[in-house]
Structure 1
Amino acid sequence: MKAAISIICYKHKVLANGESPLMVRIAKDGKRTMKSLGISVNPQHWDFSKNQPRTNCPNRNQIKQIILKTEMEYQSKVLDKELKKEEFTASSLINEQKDSIKAKTVEEFYLSLIEDLKQKGRIGNSYAYLNSYNTLRNFNKGKKLNYTFSHIDVSFCKKFEDWMRSKGNKDTTLSYQFRTLRATYNKAIEAKIVAREKNPFIEYKLSHFNTKTIKRALSKNDILKIINADCTNQSRLRQLTHDLFSFSYLCGGISFVDIANLTHHNIVEDRLIYQRQKTHGNINLLLSKEASTIIAKYSTYQQEAEYLFPILHCKRHITPMQKSNRVHKICHQVNTELRAFAKELGITAEVTTYVARHSFATILKKSGVNIGIISQALGHQDIKTTQIYLSKFDNEQVDDAMKNLL
């Protein structure tokens, strides 16, 4: 008996949104098996006699596209079985498809990707994809992304770019959003959800975005203003802010998240040895006396919490999500305090914890240190990344060079 493949609206089941799921139904040898497509419609918008969405159905074209693709995939599978004269049942055909069809719509794929990253403890990455998903939802007027990845073509990208610009977003934000969208599309290609030749980023290049940012490094004089400031009689937050900024600068521009995760195990024979949270690269630096003094200030906390600095606590911040939320919260507080601190010291530049990292690299460069050494200290896997940090030469350096012409 031939296998019959159809897409139905399973009206006997009503979801929380008041809609009913669309199911692929396979009938063979008197037995039927169904599987959800991961999308739903209001039964009022479904023509049960023709098994297709009515003309007034929202996202009708996208739904029809998903239906057509699903029918073709299963029909192709059946034809392949028949040509090879392989035995199969309705149930085996459904189960066999589960591995190859992981997601049908952009909505489903994004949500499954975000959840997968959370389960793996990659909270930072999950937030990046969640941000991308939410931005696309806003672009879609708050509606679910119930369309396939082939819907995201060059025309879609141009409209998405125009929409973001109309919201006042700069090129750096646009570049970030499109890089995340491109990464998601590539993952969908790897999962065989969309054909590689459909990739719009073959033609739609992200290089047209101007991502050059204002240099964030402070002068050595401004850095010393912060480090040498006496915060003894200041608030706990001001003291912590001063210590964390100074420690970051003194220890190779170590990032805030890496500082937060340091424990006594990272101190070995007066050396700071740790693995970067972002790139997992290994860092091994000699601890200066000044850096060691900062660590020693928090010895009481270290015995209780197991971490070097009062950011994370071993008994209160256990899961990756708890740790990520805590680091984000304290980083925000420290950055707010840093801005006030810098203003009091007469520093006009924008100062954040990240500025310590850029300043470390720039000041070493001006001191004549080899860029390869700076790159290793920063934990960069590619010197090109370090070159982005260091940006172009300062105007005064160019001016001095021009004096040598005559």
Structure 2
Amino acid sequence: MNTNIVVSLDERREKKDGSFPLVMRLGHNKRTTAIPLNISLKKKDWDEELRVVKKSYVGTNSVTRLNHIIQKSKSEAMDIILKLNENGRLQGMSILELRGHLVRKNAAISFYDYTEQQVQELISANRIGTARSYKGVISVLKTFTNNKELYFKDITYSFLKKFENSHLGKGGSYNGLAVYFRTIRAAFNKAIKEGAIDKDNYPFADYKIKSVPTEKRALDLSLLQIIIKKQIDSDDICFNARNYFVASYMMYGMNFTDMAFLKKANIIDGRIQYRRRKTSKLYDIKINPNLNKILQHYISLDEDSPYVFPIIKRDSALLQDKDIQWARKRYNIKLKKLAEKCEIEQNLTSYVSRHSFATQAMLQQVPLNAISAMLGHSSLKTTEVYLKSLPSNILDDYNAKILQ
């Protein structure tokens, strides 16, 4: 049987008081995950060799009883594992399925402990962006609850409405709120799937996440042409920003992260062949002369770098994510200067090239499902959001026809 449980301190997640969560570390089929015991201890109060709480611990009336509770939790988990093994079900189970069997199905599970564990697993899987979303939700909820413990059972319809009112009362937007709530909903869905909580505790059956249309992001074709044709010297502060914007537009509205990870090896026989990091969708894009000029410029800058664009400088996933975040921030700042240089009043951001590509494809009567495929969307609804705001001149033309 290739499955075991060890009780230990999770030293990766130190709390503000210097304590660490006590977890059951589950190992199964060469993978590991943690099951929180909702107990936090400082290192001095935990005997790592004997796997027991030391008598020095003053956070309980009876250390002996606390150790009994810990051992009982481990024994109950091992009993479930042995029964699954006897029934021939154990080896065919994934570690998440097994974890769901071991976690008691009640709502008294810390939302923070659970989501912080998800952060660690996401980082291990190099899903840094999603891990950042979870960390953002943890931070904002801790502020809202004044750092009080938060259990899944506490996150009710009423709790979500209070959070909504607080967020909007501070000047936050519905769309910003929707980002938080989609992450909370994802945590609930995962916890239910794993068997950590019951479906009865799901608040999103009643609470509907709201969002509102954003301001127009797509540029009119005439403005795009100004950016594409603008003569900008290589020592100009806007040189890279303009090139990145145009390259993104010409590569099906490629997002900034995918551009950062684009490798020279992805350029094959005059085409760009790569997988989008968010969806793993495979792309095969023909390189036109204008795009080729931009790509060749950056490829020649650093022959030793595997990447096309000089964005990623470091090796680990976390540091690469920081490289991208820093570069995107600088990119957006320079895009504002580019807009001034091109006398464009509309707000220019890293998303505008993507939305502009989608809108221009629609105006060329490219079918919606084809546009969706080119953008790498998993749903046509997402594509429809991109295309909600038609350019003003198109609406003016339609209006003129109506009023004739």
**1:354-369 map, 5 Å:** 354-369=351-366
Aligned to 1:100: 102
Alignment CA distance shift 1:193-1:333 (3 Å)? same
User: What's the offset of the Cα at 1:376?
Assistant: 2.1
* CA offsets 1:5-39 (integer angstroms, 9 cap, x no match): xxxxxxxxxx9837798999xxxxxxxxxx98333
Unpaired segments ≥5 residues, structure 1: 1-14, 25-34, 53-69, 85-95
Aligned to 1:55: none
**Counterpart secondary structure, 2:303:** helix
CA distance in 1, matches of 2:40, 2:21: 4
**Counterpart secondary structure, 1:306:** coil
**Counterpart secondary structure, 1:133:** helix
User: What's the offset of the Cα at 1:148?
Assistant: 2.3
Unpaired segments ≥5 residues, structure 2: 1-14, 25-34, 43-56, 84-97
Kept in 1, the 8 Å contact 2:157–2:206? The answer is yes
Kept in 2, the 8 Å contact 1:339–1:350? The answer is yes
Alignment CA distance shift 1:139-1:248 (3 Å)? same
Check if 1:160 corresponds to 2:163.
Answer: yes
CA distance in 2, matches of 1:297, 1:22: 53
1:187 aligned partner, one-letter code: K
**1:373-384 map, 5 Å:** 373-384=370-381
The list of structure 1 runs, each at least 4 consecutive aligned residues, that deviate by more than 3 angstroms after superposition, is 18-24, 40-49, 96-99, 392-402
Alignment CA distance shift 1:330-1:150 (3 Å)? same
Kept in 2, the 8 Å contact 1:285–1:377? The answer is no
TM-score for the superposition, normalised by structure 1: 0.75
Aligned to 1:222: 223
Check if 1:139 corresponds to 2:144.
Answer: yes
Alignment CA distance shift 1:173-1:119 (3 Å)? same
**1:335-374 map, 5 Å:** 335-374=332-371
Determine which of 107, 131, 134 is the counterpart of 1:129: 134
User: What's the offset of the Cα at 1:121?
Assistant: 0.9
CA distance in 1, matches of 2:175, 2:372: 23
CA distance in 2, matches of 1:180, 1:97: 21
CA distance in 1, matches of 2:288, 2:99: 59
CA distance in 2, matches of 1:266, 1:36: 43
TM-score for the superposition, normalised by structure 2: 0.75
CA RMSD of aligned residues (A): 3.5
CA distance in 2, matches of 1:16, 1:170: 30
User: What's the offset of the Cα at 1:277?
Assistant: 1.2
* CA offsets 1:277-324 (integer angstroms, 9 cap, x no match): 1111111111000000111112333412121111124xxx11111111
1:211 aligned partner, one-letter code: V
**1:54-203 map, 5 Å:** 100-101=102-103, 104-141=109-146, 143-144=147-148, 146-203=149-206
User: Which structure is larger by alpha-carbon Rg, 1 or 2?
Assistant: 1
Aligned to 1:385: 382
* Corresponding residue pairs, total: 343
* CA offsets 1:86-136 (integer angstroms, 9 cap, x no match): xxxxxxxxxx99961289311211111111111111111100000011011
Kept in 2, the 8 Å contact 1:302–1:309? The answer is no
Alignment CA distance shift 1:335-1:190 (3 Å)? same
Aligned-pair identity in percent equals 29
**Counterpart secondary structure, 2:189:** helix
CA distance in 2, matches of 1:385, 1:98: 32
**1:12-23 map, 5 Å:** 17=17
